[in-house]
Every structure is written in C-alpha cells, then in structure tokens.
Amino acid sequence: MIRKSISLVVILVLLAFVSTANACSAGGIADETGDLAVGAKLENFTLPDLSGVQQSFDKLKGKNGAVLVWVSAQCPVVKAYNERIIQVADELKAKGINLIGINSNATESLDWVASSAKEVGYKFPF
C-alpha cells in the first residue's frame, strides 16, 4: 500500500513538472498571455515610489538596463533573501544596471513597506 502511495505521488509530481515545463517553453504561456519573452523590450510604465511620487521605468532604469525584483515586507522568503538582494543591487549598479523593487503584496500599507525598506537597507528605487 505504501509503495502504491509513493508511486502515485511520484507520478503526480512528474506530471506537474512536465506540464509546467511545457507551458513555460517557447510557444507556451508567454505567447498565450502576452507575457514578455526573454530578450523582449519592456514598454515604459509608471508606479508610485515610497513617497507616493509616480516614477517611470524609463527614468529608473540604468544606462545598461534594469532588473525588476518583487519584494514584500512580510514574506519570509523575501526576508531570507534581503541581504542577497542588496548585494545583487550593488553588483548590478556597478555594471550600469539598476535593480528596481516592486512591492508584491497589496495588503501591505505604504508606511509598512517604506519602514521595512529603510530597516532592511534597500538603496535601490522601490
């Protein structure tokens, strides 16, 4: 019985992996939903910064491009990677690439996000 249960779990995991891999390959989700393909140019957009001022992607990107990172004040995974995110932002900045933080959690207030970003030490546009 245990062997059948383990076999079923393995089969389900493999099916999930294969269907995810197929959906993410060329001609998959990116084409059907309009998501950007790797290497595509991102259109300009605006979002408010931590002060509530509208900032444009074109204004914030570096001379050699930008990397967008979704962060959260409460997410344990983001918290675990905060030091690495800051390190990567510094490494990219030296190459003319700006890291731009985007809050991924609509339930977090602007005050909470701003104080968390300051406490963590984010020096990149957020």
The average pLDDT across 91-110 equals 93
Q: Using an 8 Å Cβ cutoff, are 78 and 71 in contact?
A: yes
pTM of the model: 0.67
Dump pLDDT digits (tens) for 42-95.
889 999 999 889 999 999 999 999 999 999 999 999 999 999 999 999 999 999
Q: In Å, how far are 40, 74, 75, 93 from 66, measured between CA atoms?
A: 13, 24, 23, 9
Q: Is residue 15 over pLDDT 60?
A: no
Q: How far apart are CA 64 and CA 69, in angstroms?
A: 17
At 32, the pLDDT band (50, 70, 90 cuts) reads: low
Q: Is residue 16 over pLDDT 60?
A: no
Kind plus residue range of the DSSP H or E element containing 46? strand 46-48
Kind plus residue range of the DSSP H or E element containing 12? helix 2-24
At 6, the pLDDT band (50, 70, 90 cuts) reads: very low
At 33, the pLDDT band (50, 70, 90 cuts) reads: low
